[in-house]
């Protein structure tokens, strides 16, 4: 099957030109002007952007949390992602505490198999890492799981102490893999939470009041120091505050290999939502919590200047009706997380590009290319180039929509509310291709559960280092940036 996309404005992280693009089978076969070729199908993309499919490197499908499971599984979650213009996700598999992370990997493979309609990879959440388990990290890397997430938050649940961090960081560095970090000082936060509860402060707003930005900044700073000593590249997930951006800027200026992602919720929503009546604030109980609006400018600036590297969603949905309500009488029992995998591309184009915060090339970089490069999938994913997978979005930059759970063509996630209810956006993914197949067109679904493939990701590539680390870098085991097929 071949497909010719004519007259589009082809935009990558670095290019921007009018052209035609031929897809042959699963890959991009030819790019040029007025291509003299025939194809099984021709799409006219005049007036449209032709961009690489979005990559969301932070989702939680079918994940156990707070006594329940996130409400999107790999079928509903990847389908919603595709409707929103995202064609690859990296989800988080959990190491069962006290057991092998390889068991966790098997569990997540079983969750995704036969369900995912777009390609996917896994990071591994490490919940403990005694010395005798360290060789399992290399086995994970050989299985294509080349990044790990550890938590400085959630004591007693996912929390890892500093010794565990150091052991895991060191081994990950040795293996040429990378670590990502949920950076909040969970130990201090738990003390603040205890005090709040003792004073009867139990409404959703106290979730935010008990998680100061300084505790995010402290953890980011500590994670950077441990990563520097352990000699491993570090990726801070869901960066939420200006305070926490400071140590990242400082470290990057010193040439330390630290990257960060932020999420649309921290750029576009603020903590005033927690004051809404009738428990509505529970919709946005996520960790880190939404911050004071004054943080948003710093985060946008961080994106524009390259200190923040990528925009993910941390999609972790729970229904209000029977899940968030678990914390009706006590905010600490509200399952943490919010939906967003479907909304990212339209929100960021609209607020970021049209809002004058980032350029069109940066939009592609932040929503696709960075994740592909950082997480070992480039150039197979994350760009429009001959030989790359034909994961392509035909994006209408003029189309206006209002995002709402009551407007089904804007909401395919399996959750009973939208975190962006009533948001007006301009710019919409109209046609979405996954490895050459049209899976979304005119609001209709043509994808197939099970068509998505697991991506064995390469180890952290040489391309990505903030600067050559010469004698500090252990080169054994490292590969180039190309993902193993």
Residue 236 lies near ligand URP (rule: CB under 6 A): no
Query: In whole angstroms, how close is the CB of 170 to ligand URP at the nearest point?
Result: 23
Applying CB under 5 A, the span of 180-188, 225-233, 386-394, 414-422 interacting with Zn ion comes to 180-188
The two structure tokens encoding residue 19: 């052209």
Question: Among 336, 362, 383, 437, which residue sits at the site for ligand URP (rule: CB under 6 A)?
Answer: 336
Question: Among 314, 342, 389, 416, which residue sits at the site for Zn ion (rule: CB under 5 A)?
Answer: 314
Residue 435 lies near Zn ion (rule: CB under 5 A): no
Question: Among 337, 339, 340, 447, which residue sits at the site for ligand URP (rule: CB under 6 A)?
Answer: 337
**Long-range contacts of the stretch 360-365 (C-beta < 8 A, 24+):** 360/11, 360/16, 360/49, 361/11, 361/12, 361/13, 361/14, 361/15, 361/16, 362/13, 362/303, 362/304, 363/11, 363/51, 364/11, 364/12, 364/13, 364/51, 364/52, 365/13
- Rounded CA-CA distance 405/419 in Å is 9
Site string for ligand URP, 295-314 (x = CB under 6 A): -------------------x
Contacts of 169 by beta carbon, 8 Å cutoff, 6+ apart:
179, 226, 227, 230, 232, 234
- Rounded CA-CA distance 306/311 in Å is 12
Applying CB under 5 A, the span of 64-72, 155-163, 165-173, 314-322 interacting with Zn ion comes to 314-322
Residue 60 lies near ligand URP (rule: CB under 6 A): yes
Residue 287 lies near ligand URP (rule: CB under 6 A): yes
Q: Which does 461 bind (CB under 5 to 8 A by kind): ligand URP, Zn ion, none?
A: none
Query: In whole angstroms, how close is the CB of 239 to ligand URP at the nearest point?
Result: 12
Residues 181-210 contacting Zn ion, CB under 5 A: 182
Buried b (16+ CB within 10 A) or exposed e, 140-175: bbebbbbbbbbbbbbeeebbbeeebbbbbbbbbbbb
The two structure tokens encoding residue 237: 């997930």
Q: Which does 91 bind (CB under 5 to 8 A by kind): Zn ion, ligand URP, none?
A: none
Q: Output the residue with the shortest Cβ distance to ligand URP.
A: 336
- Rounded CA-CA distance 44/333 in Å is 51
Residue 434 lies near ligand URP (rule: CB under 6 A): no
DSSP state of 306: T
Query: In whole angstroms, how close is the CB of 91 to ligand URP at the nearest point?
Result: 11
Binding site for Zn ion (CB under 5 A): 182, 314
Interacting residue ranges for ligand URP, rule: CB under 6 A? 60, 182, 286-287, 314, 316, 336-337
């Amino acid at each position: 099957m071949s497909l010719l996309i004519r007259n589009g404005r082809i935009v990558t992280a670095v290019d921007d030109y009018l052209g035609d693009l031929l897809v042959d089978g699963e890959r991009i076969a030819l790019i040029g002007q007025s291509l003299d070729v025939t194809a099984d199908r021709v799409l006219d993309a005049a007036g449209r952007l032709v961009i690489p499919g979005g990559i969301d490197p932070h989702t939680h499908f079918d994940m156990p949390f707070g006594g329940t499971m996130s409400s999107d599984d790999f079928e509903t979650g990847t389908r919603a992602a595709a409707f929103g213009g995202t064609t690859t996700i990296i989800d988080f598999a959990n190491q069962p505490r006290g057991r092998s992370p390889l068991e966790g990997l098997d569990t997540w493979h079983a969750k995704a198999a036969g369900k995912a309609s777009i390609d996917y990879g896994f990071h591994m959440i490490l919940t403990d890492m005694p010395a005798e388990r360290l060789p399992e990290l290399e086995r994970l890397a050989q299985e294509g799981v080349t990044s790990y997430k550890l938590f400085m938050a959630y004591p007693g649940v996912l929390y890892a102490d500093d010794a565990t961090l150091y052991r895991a960081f060191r081994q990950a560095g040795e293996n040429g893999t990378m670590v990502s970090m949920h950076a909040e000082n969970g130990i201090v936060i738990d003390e603040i939470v205890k005090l709040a509860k003792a004073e009867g402060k139990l409404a959703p707003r106290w979730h935010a009041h008990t998680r100061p930005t300084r505790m995010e900044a402290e953890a980011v700073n500590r994670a950077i120091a441990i990563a520097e000593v352990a000699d491993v590249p570090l990726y801070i997930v869901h960066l939420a505050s200006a305070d926490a951006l400071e140590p990242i800027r400082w470290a990057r200026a010193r040439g330390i290999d630290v990257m960060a992602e932020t999420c649309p919720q921290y750029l576009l929503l603020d903590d005033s939502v927690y004051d809404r009546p009738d428990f509505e604030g529970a919709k946005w109980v996520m960790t880190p919590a939404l911050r004071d609006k004054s943080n948003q400018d710093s985060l946008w600036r961080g994106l524009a200047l390259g200190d923040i590297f990528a925009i993910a969603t941390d999609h972790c949905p729970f229904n209000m009706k029977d899940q968030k309500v678990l914390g009706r009488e006590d905010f600490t029992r509200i399952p943490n997380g919010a939906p967003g995998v479907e909304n990212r591309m339209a929100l960021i184009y609209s607020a970021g590009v049209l809002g004058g915060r980032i350029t069109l090339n940066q939009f592609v970089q932040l929503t696709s290319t960075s994740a592909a490069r950082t997480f070992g999938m480039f150039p197979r994913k994350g760009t429009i180039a001959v030989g790359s997978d034909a994961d392509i979005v035909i994006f209408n930059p003029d189309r206006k929509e209002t995002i709402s759970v009551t407007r089904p063509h804007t909401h395919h996630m399996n959750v009973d509310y939208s975190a962006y209810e009533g948001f007006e956006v301009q710019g919409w993914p109209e046609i979405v291709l996954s490895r050459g197949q049209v899976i979304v067109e005119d609001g209709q679904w043509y994808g197939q559960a099970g068509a998505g493939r697991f991506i064995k990701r390469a180890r952290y590539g040489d391309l990505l280092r903030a600067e050559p680390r010469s004698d500090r870098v252990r080169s054994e085991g490292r590969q180039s940036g190309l993902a193993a097929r």
